[in-house]
Structure 1
């Protein structure tokens, strides 16, 4: 694999771990407004999805 693909995969892994930790913190440990929780999760997923598209283009 090229360096840029490895770097992109490493970034995706960090974002995935961050998403899981955010979800755990918001939903399990701190019961807060559901709208805020959903908004934060969707924002995090949007960032994740924008990272996936360039990776898909590189692997074609």
Structure 2
């Protein structure tokens, strides 16, 4: 990140490096907890709060 300190704006760069995230990095970024077994409301087809498909 110290390399970014020299940039004056977002268009001032020479190259872009894209790499795959390691499984450890992905686990560090992830968070969440399923507290209810419900998945989707059959009437509204929306995810149930605190259920398996809740995005929070």
Q: What's the TM-score, normalizing by structure 2?
A: 0.21
In terms of fraction of residues, the more helix-rich structure is: 1
Bigger radius of gyration among the two: 2
Larger RCO, structure (CA 8 Å, separation 6 or more): 1
